[in-house]
Amino acid sequence: MSERRDALETARQLSSALTFADLSRVVLKIVRDEIGFDRGTIFVVDAKAQEVRSIVADRMLVGQIALPIGSGIAGIVAQNGKSIDTEDAYADDRFDAKFDPLLRYETRDIYCIPIINSSGGVIGVLQMLNRNRSLEPEDKTFLADMSTHLATALERISSQPKTV
C-alpha cells in the first residue's frame, strides 16, 4: 500500500510540473504497472464540440480518437459522470467496436472513470483496457485518486492564459 501512496504522491507532484500530455503518459504507465492493464487512454471533454478527444492513447500508434458525448463507453462516462466496468466489451451494447480494427487491437474489457473538476463537472475520462486480473475495491479507489490528479492538472492548464 505504501507503494501506491508513493505513486499517488508522484502524480500529485508531477501534475504541477509537466504538460498535461506528459503527465498523462506518466499516470497511464503508473496505472498499467500498478494495477495491470494493457493499455489506457485519457480523453478530455470538448463541451463546445460535444465530444471527447484523446490526449494520450497509451501504446497506440494512432492520431486522435474522438467520440460524441453519449456515444461509446468513454462518451457515456463523459455524459453521465459514472464509471463503467465491463468485463466483456463486445457483449456490451455501449461499446463502439469500430476502433479495434482501426487500431489493430482487440478490446476484451474496459474500466472507464470520469475525471471531475472541483465544480463537479466532467472534464475528462480515464479509460483502461484489458486488465490482467479482477479489480479489487482498492484498485478502483487508486484509479479515482489518479483521476483527481488528472483533474487538477487539467484545471491548471485551462486556467492558464493563452499565448499567441
> What percent of the chain has pLDDT above 70?
80
Alpha carbons 58 and 128: distance in angstroms, whole number: 9
Q: Helix 137-159 and helix 20-35: axis angle, to 10°?
A: 180
Q: Say how far residue 159 (Cα) sits from the centre of its chain.
A: 21
Calpha distance 78→96 (Å, rounded): 15
How far apart CA 130 and CA 87 sit, in angstroms, is: 9
pLDDT confidence tier of residue 55, bands split at 50, 70 and 90: confident
Q: CATH class for domain 2-158?
A: alpha beta
pLDDT in tens, 88-136: 999 999 999 998 998 888 999 999 999 999 999 999 999 999 999 999 9
Residues 115, 109: Cα–Cα separation, whole Å: 20
Greatest distance between any 2 Cα atoms in the chain: 47
Q: Round to whole Å and give the CA distance between 132 and 103.
A: 20
Q: 116, 147 in Cβ contact below 8 A?
A: yes
List pLDDT tens digits, range 70-90: 999 999 999 999 999 999 999
φ, ψ for residue 24, nearest 5 deg: -60, -40
Ordered strands of the 37-46 beta sheet: 66-68, 51-57, 37-46, 122-131, 110-116, 84-86
Percent of all residues in the chain with a pLDDT value above 90, rounded to a whole number: 53
- Compute and round to an integer the Cα radius of gyration of the chain: 15
CB 155 within 8 A of CB 114: no
